[in-house]
Structure 1
């Protein structure tokens, strides 16, 4: 179930890039997600169509790369999930990062990691 949810998040994230006219981006996801999207791992049947859709979107936008990030070390994503609980259900586009996530983004940018 986690892999399917992650692929849906990647799909909707890339669709948002398309809507905003952004053609250059780095998508971070866990190892299985990277392997499936890159084609080095065959997705299970429940993910096959979605994985193809993600791949097709990436081909269309051309300059989208997928990189592995350990889920346990992605503090920025964890922080955003924490605030997601306090906003109404629906699509929210953050054109600028909220101030609370800036320290985590700065740490990730220079490669500082933490153990959980």
Structure 2
């Protein structure tokens, strides 16, 4: 699973996207999520949450989840005060991680996260909300503003 968050420089909207591939690299599913307006780190965390949810729902029980946000991984791995502004999404992610499966969160560089990066940017052409993708969007899909 590769996930990413993106922000529009023109209107400050943010989104997230991700792709789940089998061990052979073949597409198993994906998602785009137009998050609306929030911080870039919150978009990254939404990407992780939605990626975990998609992988679980598609039956994955061993998962390598890659993100290019080292900060997101650090926030998930450390305990934060319940009054921290990101505490709610961090708690939701930790609950997903505590399910009966094996998940490794790994930092990857942007070059290794190109599909998730494209999907996160592509999420900005969708209305607000999360959309699961059973097939990859066509290459000629509209680009984000």
TM tier, smaller: 0.5 to 0.7
Figure out how many residues of one structure are paired with residues of the other and give that number: 98
Q: Which has the higher contact order (CA 8 A, sep 6+)?
A: 2
Deviations 1:51-104 (A, max 9, x none): 12111211114311100123466322233245445667641223x55685xxxx
Structure 2 alignment gaps of length 5 or more? 1-38, 140-145
Does 2:92 match 1:53? yes
Q: 1:1-116 alignment to 2 at 5 Å?
A: 1-29=39-67, 30-39=69-78, 42=80, 45-71=84-110, 74-84=113-123, 90-94=130-134, 97=136
Equivalent residue number for residue 112 of structure 1: none
Q: TM-score normalized by structure 2? A: 0.54
Q: Please give the alpha-carbon distance, in whole angstroms, between the structure 2 residues aligned to 1:58 and 1:8.
A: 14
The answer to which structure has the higher strand fraction is 2
Q: TM-score normalized by structure 1? A: 0.64
